[in-house]
């Protein structure tokens, strides 16, 4: 399994956790929004790895955007769920 695929599974799973109503929001608030900063860095690392592997970068780019809008309660939850789906589907269908 490639590093790009592993990172997409990790970031996708983390986004899925953050998208859980109340639980994800409580986690983000308990870290004083530090979780969103960590996720931004994780998506940036995944983007760089995917770019070097000539893989899809869309999920990582969307994840970076999600890290910024994640501070808006309902919009953030929705974006976390959408980003998780995109990253996990991409990791599953990844052929390398």
- What integer pLDDT is reported at residue 95 of this predicted model? 67
| CA 79 – CA 96 distance, rounded (Å) | 27
**89: containing domain:** 3-93
> Is 70 exceeded by the pLDDT of residue 84?
yes
Structural domain count of the chain: 1
Question: pLDDT per residue over 15-71, tens digit each?
Answer: 999 999 999 999 999 999 999 999 999 999 999 999 999 889 999 999 999 999 999
pTM (global) more than 0.85: yes
Q: What is the DSSP string of 22-89?
A: THHHHHHHHTTTHHHHHHHHHHHHHHHHHHHTT---HHHHHHHHHHHHTTSHHHHHHHHHHHHHHHHH
At 86 the pLDDT is 97
């Amino acid at each position: 399994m490639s590093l790009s695929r592993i990172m997409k599974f990790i970031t996708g799973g983390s986004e899925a956790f953050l998208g859980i109503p109340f639980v994800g929001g409580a986690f983000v608030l308990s870290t004083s929004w530090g979780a969103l900063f960590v996720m931004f860095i994780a998506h940036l690392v995944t983007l760089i790895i995917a770019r070097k592997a000539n893989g899809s970068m869309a999920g990582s780019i969307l994840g970076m955007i999600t890290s910024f809008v994640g501070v808006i309660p309902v919009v953030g939850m929705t974006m976390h769920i959408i980003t998780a789906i995109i990253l996990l589907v991409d990791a599953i269908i990844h052929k390398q």
